[in-house]
A = this chain, B = another copy of it.
Amino acid sequence: MIHPHTVVVTRRPAAWRRWAWGVLAVIGAGAHGDEGMWLFNAAPVARIERDHGVTLSPEWMLHLQRASVRFSSGGSGSFVSPDGLVLTNHHVGADSIQKLSDADHDLLRDGFHAASPAEEKKCHDLELNVLVSIDDVTPRVQEAVKPGMPADEAFQARRAAMAEIEKESLAATGLRSDVVTLYQGAIYHLYRFKKYTDVRLVFAPEQQIAFFGGDADNFEFPRYNLDICFFRAYENGTPAKVEHHLTWSPRPVAEGEVIFVSGHPGHTDRGATVAELVSLRDRRLPLDLRILNRFEATVGGYAGRGPEERRQAVHELHGIENGRKARAGVLAGLLDPRIMEAKRRSERELRSSMEASGEASPFQAIERAQHTLDGIAERYRLLEAASAFNSEFFRTARTILRAVTERDKPNGERLREYRDSNRESLELQLFSDEPIYDAFETVKLADSLTFLATTLGGDDDLVRQVLAGRSPAERAAELVAGTDLGRRPEGNRPDRRRALSEGGSAAVEASSDTMLALARLVDGESRRLRAIAEAADEEKKQAHAAIAKARFAREGTNAYPDATFTLRLACGVVAGGTQSGVAYPAITTYGGLFQRAASKGESPPFDLPPRWRAAQPSLGPAFMATPFNFASTADIIGGNSGSPVVNAAGELVGLIFDGNIDSLVLDVAYDDLRARAVAVDAVGIREALRQVYAATHLLDEVGAAAAN
């Protein structure tokens, strides 16, 4: 599929999410080793007891579930105090931290520390979700689709049923309600979430210690990253009182110890058919990389213009570098003949038994649907995924245009992200008044218009209409100059977003805003491509459901569904490994951090923040020996960033922030021999807060002040 997997389609693409992907598919053969991203209502309790000698009680599970937090910006986190304090990764919070920064306050670079609740900074558009309940709604969703329905009608019927269930649930409970597709269409669950939309920044270290080693060390181990930050959920203007929060473990993890990860893996393709994987390998990922590579050059070039331009662009640049490295890792896995051969083998037997029955082959149906998707992939990416119009202004313009158009339709007939039950979340994003920088937007837009022109050809009709007789750079400047759809720190032009949205179709049609005009110009073609993609996805969904059914019949239902940015439990042990023949340890220390910085001459990205340099002489041998980061065999993927890691007692022992380079292939195939999840040690965090940041009130609040 081509859609991003974000739960809500927001006015900006889901923020930097390590290892985030696109093609959805059901899971393959039964799990083995520490494989598995388990649903909280279907955890393999017996297997964990057998393999690890740990018994997970229902209370233990519920406590962990309710203490787990999902970030709308695309990551995970957990409550760590009764007063709504939330711990997550710095890189999960970075999107919000960047939006709270300006030319005179670079919170990303310098860090942030609220000395009291009054100083906590309210985020522009961050939403937190806590999973309250799971209900199976499969029959109602499946019954909406009648046998023999054409794919486009089936898609619409299913969409309408889901929107209706969600709207009813929201009305009945007041909780955010999302129908989630599992096993690629075999199962549908209704997830209800407690939602927090007033979220404030409490503490962030300097990005240079959070992301020490930068792109060079990203997806590597050993690592030395204090990739943490704290937010606080508020309700009615005061800190939220939460029933469940994790307590800080007084002991660091030990090699070989069993650990559990509770978080929101974003997306995996382990159940994809060979046809889908070949498309991913030969088309989708190369196209992704082409776009990311050119975007990296463009944004990197802008960042190189000077310190303020760098401040504006650095967060986006990190996200691009990360996405490039992640995709290259999956591609490398798919280009490894052994992995693809294993996929072919595992598919062959099931496929021939299904095709022998004489019924229409679901594998062939997927091949056909994939062929359709491949045929429109470039245009879809350019128009519907808006890679041709890479600007906050354009994304806002399209959201406004579609929001007012869709609002005039019945709830069940709308594009899915405009359903009633999602309106509040959508508007939190749409009306966010984060600063937008004209020069940056112009550079990105000029580059993406060039990408449009070179992909479709300079003489293409749509290209001519979009460029309107100008060169891409001139046209980009003109489009940015003529829009009022964002807040400019440089000037004080009024922001027209709320007025246009409230004014409805009439106001939008009457507007002369350049970006709205552009969004209108391409919307017909863009929607046409989306409808084709949605129908093809529906065909794949039905085929995958048939495959899943056959697989359940052969192998039982002891399998977990592919990741869908819903809460999952993973289990593993703390373990080192080998890379390129060299063994590495399971746990790193602060001493290792200073050694690595010194070995690289402290040249960027291996430089230390001034605070750390200043503190170094006074940090004793006990601090240097304190665990900093650790590796484990837990089965995680992008979206798990910020996930709490707990021990058998349910105490917080760390938080996930990365996987090693061999973990990137987990998108398509589990590998517990070499893949490792990488986490910050909770005791390491405590000691940094105590000895480097003197953040005693935070230590008091999380109840970690006394130990060592």
Contacts and interface: CB of A to CB of B under 8 A. Distances in A.
Interface of A: 214-216, 278, 281-282, 285-286, 289-290, 292-294, 296-297, 300-301, 304-307, 310, 321, 324-325, 328, 331-337, 340, 450, 453-455, 457-459, 464, 467, 469-474, 599-601, 603, 605-606
A307 B454 contact: no
A310 B285 CA distance: 28
Contacts of A301: 215-216, 325
13 contacts: A214-B304, A278-B458, A278-B459, A281-B454, A282-B457, A300-B300, A307-B600, A307-B601, A328-B450, A331-B450, A332-B473, A333-B471, A336-B471
A606 B308 CA distance: 13
B458 A340 contact: yes
Main secondary structure of the interface of A (DSSP, over half): helix
A476 to B, nearest CB: 11
Contacts of A453: 335
Contacts of A332: 450, 471-473
A601 B215 CA distance: 24
Contacts of A305: 216
A319 to B, nearest CB: 14
Contact of A467 (B325, B335, B603): B335
A454 B285 contact: yes
Contacts of A473: 332
A604 to B, nearest CB: 8
B455 A286 contact: yes
Contacts of A337: 464, 467, 469-471
A446 to B, nearest CB: 8
A105 to B, nearest CB: 16
Q: How many copies does the complex hold?
A: 2
A450 B215 CA distance: 20
Nearest to A324: B297
Contacts of A297: 292-293, 296-297, 321, 324
A306 B606 contact: yes
Contacts of A605: 304
Nearest to A600: B306
Contact of A289 (B294, B310, B470): B294
A453 B332 CA distance: 10
Contact of A296 (B286, B290, B296, B458): B296
Contacts of A286: 454-455
Contacts of A459: 278, 282
Contacts of A599: 306
A216 B305 CA distance: 5
A310 B215 CA distance: 14
Given A281-B454, A282-B457, A282-B458, A335 B293 contact: no
Given A294-B293, A301-B215, A458 B335 contact: yes
Given A297-B297, A307-B601, A335-B450, 4 more contacts: A278-B457, A290-B294, A306-B600, A306-B606
A300 to B, nearest CB: 8
A104 to B, nearest CB: 14
